[in-house]
């Protein structure tokens, strides 16, 4: 085919035969019909399998027909679009499945008594018992971690944005990134090695808070840093021009104008560590009874409770795990949604 040939054939026809909506529907109906027949006639079964098979068949049929009618380029385009849609489904389905499962299983057990009783003296096959001790533990551990990580992280962010200019600042910034990739179990092992083995302290809620602090820190630093960076320089300069010291400027002017964004980041960080299980396993250890004091002795926590009950070979225990998981998910999702709504409001205002 010569070049002129290519150009003239194409330019003489701006019109390309396209598959009509009608033929797309026909292909869809055909695929479902074939799948139904196949599932009735062969040993294939299951809702998920049906869905997957029908989808795959539809995409194959569509691509083939498109290749014949519309040409290879359009067929490829349709294939990729189908794949993109399928990927979106594949990513959303697990979330729906996990949420749906947790709600269905969790609400069966969840009750006022479940929230206000502990597991002290409750055997794994007993239906009573609850997560009061775990709720208290999680509140204390996450609360302490927030108290430590937020000022610490804010100061690091202030240093990175307002003070650092040289190599040291880049160095710190680099290690904030490295810290982001730190596996949570390693943070736990670190506190275990330092606090419990080297310093001879006991398991405690506080030990867990320290591990959670290590995990919260990079998230807080990064989000606060982003927020401080978008505070306009004119605000700082205006303050300096009035003869106000730098630190007063930072504390009284820069921080407040970045506050909403920082709060959002902190809430997301809290949401992240609230669900952490692994670091608590090696620092807090877990406890069926209530221990109010986070500074001494093993404590319970919601994620740990889910993990330990899930590991028991007993339906009652696993149901308790689901109920606790429901509470945990609610807490984490509410934190997330509120943080995001807040972020949305702030970004709309600015």
Partner 1 sequence: MSSTPSGENLDRRTRRRGDAIFRMLAQGSGAALLVIMAAIAVFLVLQAVPALNADTTSFLTTLKWAPDGTPSSFGIAALAFGSVLTSLLALLISVPVAVGVALATSHYAPRWLARPLAYVVDLLAAVPSVVFGLWGLTYLVPNIIAPSTSLNHYLGFIPFFASNGTYGKSIFAASIVLAVMAIPIISAISREVFIQTPRDQVEAAWAIGATKWEMVRTAILPYGRSGIISGTVLGFGRAIGETIAVALVLSANYEISLHILEPGGNTIAANIATRYGEAGEIGRGALIASGLVLFIITLIVNFGARAIVGKNSRGGAS
Partner 2 sequence: MAKNVQMKDVDIYYGKFHAVQGVNLSVPPRAVTAFIGPSGCGKSTVLRTINRMHEVIPGARVEGRVELDGEDIYRPGVDPVEVRRAVGMVFQRPNPFPTMSIRDNVVAGLKLQRVNDKAQLNEVTERSLRAANLWNEVKDRLGKPGGSLSGGQQQRLCIARAIAVQPDVLLMDEPCSALDPISTLAIEDLIGKLKQDYTIVIVTHNMQQAARVSDRTGFFNLLAVDKPGRLVELDDTEKIFSNPTEKATEDYISGRFG
Q: Which of residues 246-265 bind partner 1 (CB under 8 A)?
A: 246-248, 250-251
Residue 9 or 293 with smaller CB distance to partner 2: 9
Residue 8 or 29 with smaller CB distance to partner 1: 8
| Interface segment toward partner 1; rule CB under 8 A; list 18-26, 32-40, 72-80, 110-118 | 72-80
Q: Compute the distance between CA of residue 78 and CA of residue 66 in angstroms, rounded to an integer.
A: 8
Binder of residue 18, out of partner 2, partner 1, none (CB less than 5 to 8 A by kind): partner 2
How many Cβ atoms are within 10 Å of 176's Cβ, its own excluded?
Answer: 20
Q: Compute the distance between CA of residue 233 and CA of residue 228 in angstroms, rounded to an integer.
A: 10
Residue 90 binds partner 1 (CB under 8 A)? yes
Binding mask 4-43 for partner 1 (x = CB under 8 A): ----------------------------------------
Exposure string for 52-69, b = 16+ CB within 10 A, e = fewer: ebbbebbbebbbebbbee
What's the Rg (C-alpha) of the chain? 28
Q: Compute the distance between CA of residue 72 and CA of residue 83 in angstroms, rounded to an integer.
A: 16
Q: DSSP string covering 78-98, please?
A: HHHHHHHHHHHHHHHHHHHHH
Cβ 11 to partner 2 shortest distance, Å: 5
Residue 27 or 339 with smaller CB distance to partner 1: 339
**Quick one: which of 30, 121, 238, 311 contacts partner 1 (CB under 8 A)?**
311
Residue 182 or 260 with smaller CB distance to partner 1: 182
Residue 18 binds partner 2 (CB under 8 A)? yes
**Quick one: which of 46, 72, 123, 151 contacts partner 2 (CB under 8 A)?**
72
The tokens describing 137, both together, are 């533990």
| Three-class SS state of 204 | strand
DSSP secondary structure letter of residue 194? I
Residue 170 binds partner 2 (CB under 8 A)? no
* Residues at the interface with partner 2 (CB under 8 A): 1-4, 6-8, 10-11, 13-18, 72-73
């Amino acid at each position: 085919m010569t070049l002129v040939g290519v150009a003239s054939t194409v330019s003489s026809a701006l019109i390309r035969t396209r598959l009509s909506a009608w033929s797309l529907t026909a292909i869809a109906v055909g695929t479902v019909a074939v799948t139904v027949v196949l599932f009735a006639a062969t040993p294939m079964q299951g809702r998920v399998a049906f869905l997957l098979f029908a989808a795959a068949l539809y995409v194959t049929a569509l691509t083939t027909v498109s290749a014949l009618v519309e040409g290879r380029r359009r067929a490829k385009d349709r294939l990729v679009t189908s794949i993109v849609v399928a990927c979106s489904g594949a990513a959303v389905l697990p979330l729906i499945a996990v949420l749906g499962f947790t709600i269905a299983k969790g609400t069966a057990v969840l009750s006022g008594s479940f929230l206000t009783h502990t597991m002290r003296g409750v055997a794994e096959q007993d239906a009573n018992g609850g997560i009061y001790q775990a709720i208290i533990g999680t509140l204390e551990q996450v609360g302490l971690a927030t108290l430590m990580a937020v000022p610490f992280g804010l100061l690091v962010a202030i240093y990175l944005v307002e003070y650092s200019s040289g190599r040291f600042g880049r160095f710190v910034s680099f290690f904030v990134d490295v810290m982001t990739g730190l596996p949570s179990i390693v943070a736990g092992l670190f506190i275990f090695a330092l606090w419990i083995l080297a310093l001879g302290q006991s398991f405690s809620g506080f030990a867990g808070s320290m591990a959670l602090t290590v995990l919260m820190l990079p998230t807080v630093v990064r989000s606060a840093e982003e927020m401080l960076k978008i505070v306009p320089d004119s605000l700082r300069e205006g303050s300096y021009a009035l003869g106000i010291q730098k630190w007063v400027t930072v504390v009284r002017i820069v921080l407040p104008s970045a506050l909403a964004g920082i709060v959002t980041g902190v809430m997301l960080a809290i949401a992240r560590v609230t669900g952490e299980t692994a670091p608590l396993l090696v620092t807090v250890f877990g406890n069926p009874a209530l221990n109010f004091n986070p500074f001494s002795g093993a404590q319970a926590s919601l994620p740990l409770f889910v993990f330990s009950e899930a590991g028991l070979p007993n339906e009652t225990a696993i149901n308790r795990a689901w109920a606790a998981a429901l509470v945990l998910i609610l807490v984490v999702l509410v934190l997330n949604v509120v943080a995001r709504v807040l972020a949305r409001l702030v970004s709309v205002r600015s």
